[in-house]
Structure 1
Amino acid sequence: MNRFILLICFMFCFNFLLHSQDSVIQLGGDQGWDLLQNYHNITQQIGLHGYMDLYLSDNTSKNDMFTDLLLSEKGLIDTENYTLEGNKPNIIKNGIRGDWAFRFNGTESLQLIPNSKSIFKSFTGKKDFSIEFWINPFVIENRSTIIKWNGGILHDNIFTPQSLSINFQKRRLGIYFKNVFQYPDGTLASDINITGLTNLIPNKWSHHLIRYSESQGTIEYFLNNRLEAITYVTPTGKEKGPFGTPSFSDITNQPLIVGQNYTGLIDELRISQKYRDTNYSKYPKAGGSVTTKPIDLGYSNSLLLDIKISQNITEDSDLSYYYRITDHLEDLTTNNLQWLSLKPNELDGDLRGRYIQMKIMFHTNATLDKSPQLSTIQISYQEDLPPAPPLGLVAKPGNSSVKLNWKEVTESDIAGYYIYYGDSKGEYWGTEANEGDSPIDVGNITNFELSGLQNDKLYFFTVVAYDKANPPHESQFSIEVQARPERKYNE
């Protein structure tokens, strides 16, 4: 008797463990980030334990459809609009973003020949443009030039020289345009001078942005995200009056010169055919985000146990987590389901479903120079496996009927049983029973009688258990039994 009780207990515990398995899905670490999609301002860098972690993308200038010239973070001349003439200055791994920068020694410069697509060859009419760069001068001398270009156009069939120069003037940055802007009456703005208000400091990085807006008729100069100077491209230099528009159409084929008589570093120099916002901060103020793909937990009604996060938060940067879980994939692919906020390593409530999706928001700090770091996400869940098949199925024939009995499946979420029947072994397509076609949902009982069957005909039966999941999980078939209804003549 004791052995029988022990055997029953063992079978119950084994059945519980079999149908209540805890599983873990990990994102990041040695599993990588293949389950992510929809990156926005997010990058991967080597982090904890040498694996790839997620960080905010920095504000490194990118080559886009408006870029005319870009000296990129890897020390490359990233453009098809210019041809390098002569040698390229040295590059060193000491840039503002931690990557490469161009190093000038005061005797060499970077000379680029514009082609027909460049801003200096074919840029006329009502168009915006921007010039931006980082500099770290070792010395500040008046003859040092960041950008210099001398060209010329035919104006009223007369050759007219043009020039653009950005250089140091008494420890400040000066910007000079000559015959670059044209007024509606056809005259040229002969001289436009802009000088910053702030003295530059040797051996210190600073960001500079010069931009022209055709809608406002202004040239603005920003130093480290602060407006230093503004001038109106009008005959009087004041707000009222006809606006001048840029008129680059050089016929001299003169080079654009970068770093003439300059000693120091230049990084992320970009000329754009666009009115750009300042790119001073290390990280975007808007932050970034990433969303996982819908992650399949295998079975509907699976129980979400925990979501563990490994992260590193510096200063007042932060990470915000959101999730949603459902049994229906279309809820995630059509955005029909609301996102729920998640506190790291804290999960409350009975949360169930087959598909889970997460969204992570990355926030920089107040000074926009720190990024949070995300190393791993571990999603722990308990699969809601199908129930075990019913045991002990017995069929007892009667007059035009068969009575079936089976043992109860003892799992806590059993909702009922289906009876399958037919007149061929392994094929359960029966339609003769008064209780309905195969399969018949008999509810949560362990015996059932089928009536209306044909006497002297052999029938085959099996039973399947199903649980309370939506949609329900069905067990495998029980053993198959057979019975032949018959009329007893003494009845």
Structure 2
Amino acid sequence: MKFASILVNFSESVSERLSLFSVSRKLLLAAHCTLLSALALFATPKTLILGGDEGWKEIASLDGVSVGEKNGLFGYNAIELSTKLGNANPTTDLYLSFDEEKVHDLAGNYTVSENNLVCTDDAVKGNGSALSRGINKGLTLNGNKKALFGKSGAMGSFTIEFWLCPTLAENGEAVLSWRSALNDDINSEYQMILASFYKNHLEWTFKNIFIGYRASEIHLAGYNTVVPNKWARHTVSFDEESGLLEYLIDGRTESLVFITKNGHENGTICYPKLGVKADLEICPDYVGKIDSFRISRLPYALEKNDILLTGNEKYKTKGGKLLTKPILVSHSAVIEQIDTLMSVPPETDIRFYIRSGDNCYGWNDSYPEWREISPGEKISGIKGLYFQLYAEFLPDGKGSQTPRLSEIAVKYDEQAEPLPPFKITAQAGDGSVTLNWSYSVDDNAGGYYVYYGNRPGEYLGRMAIQGNSPVNVGNRTSVTLTGLENGRIYYFAVSAYSKIDGRINGSLSKEVFARPSSRLAKK
């Protein structure tokens, strides 16, 4: 019986202790939750919108991407992979994208003197192409002194390239025409560069262009038949290093000849020379669409490896990127996540990266370190006065599709600024002023700054022994500033700073004033 009684008493004691432990644990958890809740009250959820209705004002740089007009979701201006080549390279002599209603040379070397082409949305490159109806000479260009066709003399290496979608490709339809004369003291020779259709093939003719070549007229005809209503890229190129004159369709060689004295590789090269300046005519007799017309000072062998877009892809397969400016938020701002509005076709992608810090002036390409993030997922450890976003735009493997980014919503928590004291008084003394104020009603307040100066609202004081304005007085509600000049008036205000981060300073209290005087000296 005694043993049973002892066992019962022991069990009750253990039960009571476990019960007490459970209660203590619950109290600790409750206290922890209360603390977290209190801290959460100090933070204000905020959202910063990039793109969308706000536009892309915070963008620092775009590389291989561009902002389209109302091309994104909900009619927003979206960022997408760029197809524009034009003045992206100093070797570009002429570039006509036909993406805009007004046709102009994006390289800035040619002016349009006459244009009878019609803009159309059916583009193989970019957002538009041009329709030629075979009347009124199409498009006429006049080159300046920097243009290959804007002056007389040696021409050097060149590449002429354009996309065609012919309606019929009838005999005699001319896509490009340049006609002039090469004069010397005795003779005058007719010169011509012509690209026209013959028996459903595009044929290039160079007449009296290459000085010293054994034939005055050179013909390069395509091997494959041109298919009506189908886009194809036509390229003719001359390499002054090798003498190779070559015609290609969609990057495949159709015809070639070495412009040398003996007509073979490694012979003495005959260089091109242009005579009297003349206009360049595009689509003077052609019926169909044309897109992405450009002339380069590089031969095709170098041009195809250049940073400009070549090949049959619509977008650069290496993709593009955007970088925002370092964006100012507030001290101790915590980035929670980003949400995006974007369209991502199959096999394409947009990858996002973020970094942050309190001082952006020492930032470079690799510091602070970039962190990859995913839209809609929680972000941890990204906080500070500044943050910066970086995004990579990746097309499909064929370079035929681009992702589009219409908006980025950056969600972050900002520590709230504590409220100032509601009541403040100033009592003058001999070379001093004593300030008293009430505690801030804001639980977020961790201390106070005292501002002072000699003009209302201008707290630039530097004479007090306690320090220059503002003076950090800690978490108290009274201070006496000494070292002040008797007879001068002083104005004061007090602000509270955050207990979470002392750099977060609230607004100022009402202003008070006092005038120290020697008659107020204590006896």
By the TM > 0.5 criterion, same fold? yes
Q: TM-score, normalised by structure 1?
A: 0.73
Alpha carbons 2:317, 2:398 under 8 Å: kept: no
- Tell me by how many angstroms 1:26 deviates: 0.9
Answering whether residue 309 of structure 2 is matched by residue 309 of structure 1, we say no
Answering whether residue 316 of structure 2 is matched by residue 291 of structure 1, we say no
Alpha carbons 1:70, 1:77 under 8 Å: kept: yes
Provide the rounded CA distance (Å) in 2 between the counterparts of 1:356 and 1:56. 24
Answering whether residue 74 of structure 2 is matched by residue 49 of structure 1, we say yes
Amino acid at match of 1:99: G
The one of 304, 314, 332 aligned to 1:282: 314
Answering whether residue 46 of structure 2 is matched by residue 23 of structure 1, we say yes
Q: Counterpart of 1:130 in 2: which secondary structure?
A: strand
**Aligned 1:135-154 pairs, distance under 5 A:** 135-154=164-183
Point out the structure with the larger helix share: 2
Q: RMSD across aligned C-alpha pairs, in angstroms?
A: 4.9
Question: Which residue of 2 is the match for residue 268 of structure 1?
Answer: 292
Give the stretch that moved more between structures: 145-154 or 464-473: 464-473
Q: Counterpart of 2:416 in 1: which secondary structure?
A: coil
- Tell me by how many angstroms 1:326 deviates: 1.4
| Closer, same or farther: CA 128–469 of 1 in aligned 2, 3 Å | farther
Q: Counterpart of 1:199 in 2: which secondary structure?
A: coil
- Tell me by how many angstroms 1:374 deviates: 0.8
| Closer, same or farther: CA 485–308 of 1 in aligned 2, 3 Å | farther
Question: Which residue of 2 is the match for residue 96 of structure 1?
Answer: 124
Question: Which residue of 2 is the match for residue 132 of structure 1?
Answer: 161
| Closer, same or farther: CA 109–279 of 1 in aligned 2, 3 Å | farther
Provide the rounded CA distance (Å) in 1 between the counterparts of 2:358 and 2:190. 71
- Tell me by how many angstroms 1:174 deviates: 2.3
Provide the rounded CA distance (Å) in 1 between the counterparts of 2:450 and 2:142. 82
Alpha carbons 1:420, 1:439 under 8 Å: kept: yes
Alpha carbons 2:155, 2:274 under 8 Å: kept: no
Question: Which residue of 1 is the match for residue 361 of structure 2?
Answer: 330
What is the percent sequence identity of the aligned residues? 25
- Tell me by how many angstroms 1:313 deviates: 0.2
Alpha carbons 2:152, 2:276 under 8 Å: kept: no
Q: Counterpart of 2:69 in 1: which secondary structure?
A: strand
Provide the rounded CA distance (Å) in 2 between the counterparts of 1:196 and 1:417. 83
Answering whether residue 373 of structure 2 is matched by residue 342 of structure 1, we say yes
Provide the rounded CA distance (Å) in 1 between the counterparts of 2:149 and 2:178. 9
| Structure 1: runs of 5 or more not aligned | 1-11, 395-401, 454-459
- Tell me by how many angstroms 1:286 deviates: 3.3
| Closer, same or farther: CA 416–264 of 1 in aligned 2, 3 Å | closer
The one of 237, 242, 250 aligned to 2:276: 250
Answering whether residue 414 of structure 2 is matched by residue 386 of structure 1, we say no
Alpha carbons 1:68, 1:273 under 8 Å: kept: no
- Tell me by how many angstroms 1:353 deviates: 0.9
Answering whether residue 203 of structure 2 is matched by residue 180 of structure 1, we say no
Provide the rounded CA distance (Å) in 2 between the counterparts of 1:132 and 1:181. 20
Answering whether residue 267 of structure 2 is matched by residue 241 of structure 1, we say yes
Provide the rounded CA distance (Å) in 1 between the counterparts of 2:83 and 2:372. 26
Amino acid at match of 1:194: L
Alpha carbons 1:304, 1:352 under 8 Å: kept: yes
Structure 1 residues 259-282: Cα deviation after superposition (integer angstroms, max 9, x where no partner): 455432233333444544436432
The one of 219, 237, 261 aligned to 1:211: 237
Amino acid at match of 1:323: I
Answering whether residue 398 of structure 2 is matched by residue 367 of structure 1, we say yes
Q: Counterpart of 2:43 in 1: which secondary structure?
A: coil
Provide the rounded CA distance (Å) in 2 between the counterparts of 1:111 and 1:475. 65
- Tell me by how many angstroms 1:378 deviates: 0.8
Question: Which residue of 2 is the match for residue 399 of structure 1?
Answer: none
| Closer, same or farther: CA 379–203 of 1 in aligned 2, 3 Å | same
**Aligned 1:189-200 pairs, distance under 5 A:** 190-200=216-226
- Tell me by how many angstroms 1:92 deviates: 4.7
